[in-house]
Structure 1
């Protein structure tokens, strides 16, 4: 993933609005990312795609998935807006991004 293109999201789909807040996202260079926020902790994971059973240890051990960034904001919160999440993760929306 190139640095600039890998940080710009072209498509974001919210899959859960609270506890945890989560989104499926795709970067400008086509990488799928899973975004999640729960108990004040945010994470961005990369996976082959949203339909892959990426939670199995085998996919992580085979190098097909991994943690891109994780943080704890110290709030213990369960809800965060997409803009605040992206800012905390160092990600941004591409100018023509699709967000749903």
Structure 2
């Protein structure tokens, strides 16, 4: 498990792939995505993809589940498999 704790998450795609904009307890932005059986978490300075200097590749966390047709996952399971703590502030 990483030392990252997700305190805020916004689903950005309600279909395929499953993906979220998420923020840690220290304000770090993370892009979470699950597509074709691959889950990735990447850290960027902002949630604006046009400012990202590299493509998402799972630099923070990466996992496989299912097969290439699998693109749906709940946030709780995503975080568990990625080794991220999930403590959403309501």
Same fold, TM exceeding 0.5? yes
Aligned-residue Cα RMSD (Å) equals: 1.9
CA positional deviation for 1:97: 2.0
Q: What residue is the counterpart of 2:26 in the other structure?
A: 29
- Over 3 Å counting, the alpha-carbon distance change for 1:54 and 1:89 in structure 2 is farther
From 1, 7, 17, give the equivalent of 2:14: 17
Q: Output the CA distance in 2 between the equivalents of 1:93 and 1:72.
A: 19
Flag the 1:91–1:27 CA change in 2: closer, same or farther, 3 A.
same
- Return the structure number with greater helix share: 1
What's the offset of the Cα at 1:75? 2.8
Residues 1:71 and 1:84: Cα distance change in structure 2 (over 3 Å): same
Unaligned runs of 5+ in 2: none
Which of 72, 94, 98 is 2:64 aligned to?
A: 72
Greater CA radius of gyration, 1 or 2? 1
Q: Where does the alignment leave 5 or more consecutive residues of structure 1 unmatched?
A: 61-65
Instruction: Verify: 1:82 aligned to 2:79, yes or no.
Output: no
- The answer for the alignment partner of 1:63 in structure 2 is none
Q: Which runs of 4+ in 1 moved over 6 A?
A: none
State the match for 2:46 in structure 1: 49
Bigger strand fraction: 1
Would you say how many aligned residue pairs link Structure 1 and Structure 2?
85
Alignment TM-score, normalising by the size of structure 1: 0.74
The alpha-carbon deviation at position 52 of structure 1 amounts to: 4.6
